[in-house]
Amino acid sequence: MGVIPTQRETGSPAPGGPACPHGEDDGTQARATFPGGPLAPGNARGLTRAALAGWRERGLTVPDRLADEVVVVVSELVTNAVVHAGTDVGLVCRLEPDSGSCVVEVSDRHPSRAPARHAGETDGEPPEYGRGLRLVTALAEEWGVTYRTGAKTVWARLPVHRAPGSEPYADEPALGVAERLAPQPQRAGRDHEWLGRGALSFLAEASDLLAGQLDEDLVAALTGQLLVPRLADWCAVWLEDEAALRSGWGQGTQGPGPRLARVWHGSENRIEELRRALEKDPPRPPEDPAAGPEPYPWPGDALGPHEAHGAALAYRLVAGGRPLGTLVIGRAGLLRFPDEITGLVEDLSRRVALGIGAARQYARQATISAVLQRGLLPGAVAEIPGLRSALVHEPCDQGGPSGDFYDLFPAGRSRWCFAVGDVQGKGPEAAVVIGLARPWLRLLAREGYGVADVLDRLNQLLLDDAIEAADAAARALAGPVAGEGPQTRFLSLLYGELVPLRGGGVRCTLASAGHPLPLVLTRSGDVRTVARPQTLLGVIEDETYTCDTFELHSGDTLLCVTDGVTERRCGSRQFDDGDGLAAALAGCSGLDADAVAERIRRLVHDFGERPPEDDLALLVLQAE
């Protein structure tokens, strides 16, 4: 959340500005915290209306026009906070009879830097100027930004009484905040002035607001917030589904038809009735998808007698030549929209279409990634006689495939094999490499190849032309990257073979190719490494790998991890500095396999203040 800085923005409230919101409620102050979701603006408006009503019951002066402006300011600032921060939003609404004003403060915990040349600015870091809708400046007589540690507060001060010579609250033609921002025919001169002064900044900020959204329904919701009440009394957004798009733009009778994704009205109690009316009359696609806005039937029955007549326009949302939906705006009391407003909304509709198109592309890629991820990991791990196992696998990017993988499978003749690997990079390219490596591991193991022979052959596979095919397939999914050709993908791998022993315990043969070395915790509490470091797979032609063999006795525990565990950072320190992983494993003495895996996972997470920035995978094997 933020406001475009001006000369009035400071690192602390301006003289006479709002005090810190952390104070006692003396009957003239309302405060609350709302989760940073789409319901936050509505909840904030409800709290504000209740506070205004309570102040009036106590005999305090709250003119109707001030109440309307306070609600609009709260809605604007809270919406801005939700969009830009996504964190919990704090709201303080305070009436100050002594200064004759009402103060609104909205805070979020989004990390931010102070304005340029502010005393708190860190040398060597580029200043981050507050972002947000420039139109916020039109919402109050005074406003500003207060920066605190880990939080940013935008405050607005609205006077209870107008200054001499300004529009009085009691005068019917006087214009409140919503009216100043929303054009009407009798204000053509003011519309022209606003368009000349603020239209370009409005479009620029709208582009910034919409471009970063990854959900098409959120794009539709933000469109409503942008248009109402600035440019229209109400708006609606229909979205075409992908099946309808494939059937062709002009074939409106095929498929389920457009979905009414968002309806917004300046008066919230009109929204549901308006939605029901609009659902019965979806816009019809024109023969020419590039056609300009078209008149839309006025839904007067749903809007009541005060809005029985008006003008409505339908704008087709098209991006990349593909129709994505329709935006409809309506304004009561108009015979037609002014040309300036029509053109401005047409420009905005293009940005809305681009936002929807980007969100859909992200959704398609996320679906592909999810399908890839499901295919990269085993549906179930094998149960091995005399051995308990536990797994942790946490991709850093929940929307994309991980570069880490694991497997535990039967190889025949009373043999089981396991693998923990990490491909250089992430995303589809890493996924395709894993899609090659894991099936080859299983095939070679079941063909009877030993541990060292499996690594030799897998290394050659990664150096052969097959890896170029993997790159080509990955690029078909992720899109081309300028200046890059096929690349060899390095793979670090810990691979082993397990054979249960008749007298109890398990014989383990394993090898580490460029991978963090595995550790064994004995029943007596000792910790030791059980492999030697060797070269990554896919680096050196005709590399020969060796393996080590040892026994896991009853109560012994083998821990295998990826570098997301060992290289977990806290400042300049890593989790495995000073044998940190061995010390953590030593503290797991006496725990079963599941408890060991959970304890190591928790210690890794707790090591740093921020969430891990790399994929995590660990495998625990414990002899019974």
CA 17 to chain centre: 34
Burial 327-357 (b: 16+ CB within 10 A, else e): bbbbbbebeebbebbbebbeebbebbbbbbb
Radius of gyration over every alpha carbon of the chain, rounded to an integer in angstroms: 31
**Whether residue 412 sits in one domain with residue 482:** yes
Domain edge (last residue) among 368, 400, 427: 368
Domain CATH number, residue 512: 3.60.40.10
Ranking 88-92, 187-191, 613-617 by mean pLDDT, the lowest is 187-191
> Could you give the angle at the alpha carbon of 223 between the alpha carbons of 218 and 229, nearest 5°?
135
Among candidate residues 336, 368, 400, the one where a domain is terminated: 368
Same domain, 313 and 329: yes
Residue-wise pLDDT for 296-309, tens only, equals: 999 988 888 888 89
243-276 confidence digits (pLDDT tens): 555 555 444 445 567 999 999 998 888 899 999 9
Pairing of strands 616-623, 387-394: antiparallel
If you ran DSSP here, which 8-state letter would residue 167 be given? -
What percentage of the chain exceeds 70 in pLDDT?
Answer: 70
What's the one-letter identity of residue 178? A
One-letter-per-residue 3-state SS of 364-379: HHHHHHHHHHHHHCCC
pLDDT tens for each residue of 408-464: 999 888 899 999 999 876 666 677 778 788 888 999 999 999 999 999 999 988 887
Indicate whether 238 and 252 sit together in one domain: yes
The helix or strand, by DSSP H or E, that contains position 141, with its residue range, turns out to be none
pLDDT band at residue 539 using 50, 70 and 90 as cut-offs: confident
Cα torsion 281, 285, 290, 294 to 10°: value is -30
232 and 203 assigned to the same domain: yes
Range with the largest mean pLDDT of 95-99, 429-433, 549-553: 549-553
Give the mean model confidence (pLDDT) for residues 541-547. Answer: 91
C-alpha separations of 244 from 256, 269, 281, 320, 511 in Å: 7, 32, 18, 16, 53
Check pLDDT > 80 for residue 616: yes
The answer on 337 and 250 residing in a single domain is yes
How far apart (Å, rounded) are the C-alpha atoms in residues 219 and 336? 27
pLDDT for 176 equals: 37
The phi-psi region of residue 408 (left if phi > 0; otherwise alpha if psi is between -120 and 50; otherwise beta) is beta
- Of 181, 207, 223, the last residue of a domain is 181
Task: Kindly indicate the confidence band of residue 373, based on its pLDDT and cuts at 50, 70 and 90.
Answer: low
Judged by average pLDDT, the poorest of 19-28, 34-43, 71-80, 100-109 is 19-28
Please give the mean pLDDT across all residues of the chain: 76
Hey, what's the torsion of the CAs at 424, 444, 472, 363, to 10 degrees? -70
Diameter of the chain measured on Cα atoms: 99
Integer Cα distance of 510 and 441 in angstroms: 13
Same domain? 96 vs 119: yes
Residue 548: pLDDT band with limits 50, 70, 90: very high
To the question of pTM greater than 0.75 for the whole model, the response is no
Whether residue 227 sits in one domain with residue 284: yes
Same domain, 200 and 173: no
Q: Does residue 317 surpass a pLDDT of 80?
A: yes
**How many domains does one find in the chain?**
3
Q: Which pLDDT value is given to residue 618? A: 93
Residue 35 pLDDT level (bands cut at 50, 70, 90): confident
Q: Are residues 323 and 397 in the same domain?
A: no
pLDDT for residue 470: 53
What residues make up the domain containing 285? 183-368
* pLDDT for residue 146: 74
pLDDT tens digits, one per residue of 478-510: 554 444 444 556 889 999 999 999 888 899 999
* Both tokens assigned to 242: 């992908």
pLDDT of residue 603: 94
Q: Residue 589: is its pLDDT beyond 70?
A: yes
With a cut of 90, say whether residue 187 has pLDDT above it. no
32's CB contacts (< 8 A; 6+ apart) are 43, 44, 47, 90, 91
Q: What pLDDT is stored for residue 490 in this prediction? A: 83
Instruction: Tell me which long-range contacts 590-593 makes (C-beta under 8 A, separation of at least 24).
Output: 592/388, 592/622, 593/388, 593/389, 593/390, 593/557, 593/620, 593/621, 593/622
pLDDT at 455: 95
Contact between 46 and 73 under an 8 Å Cβ cutoff? The reply is no
Could you tell me if 423 and 503 lie in one domain? yes
Say yes or no: 359 and 267 in one domain: yes
pLDDT at 256: 63
Same domain flag for 400 and 252: no
For the chain, what percent of residues have pLDDT higher than 90?
30
Helix (H) and strand (E) counts in the chain: 15, 22
Neighbours of 370 (CB within 10 A): 14
Count of residues in the chain? 624
Q: Is 234 helix (H, G, I), strand (E, B) or coil?
A: strand
Higher pLDDT, 506 or 189: 506
Structure tokens at 210: 């919409």
What CATH code is carried by the domain that includes residue 338? 3.30.450.40
Question: Residue 50's domain is classified under what CATH number?
Answer: 3.30.565.10
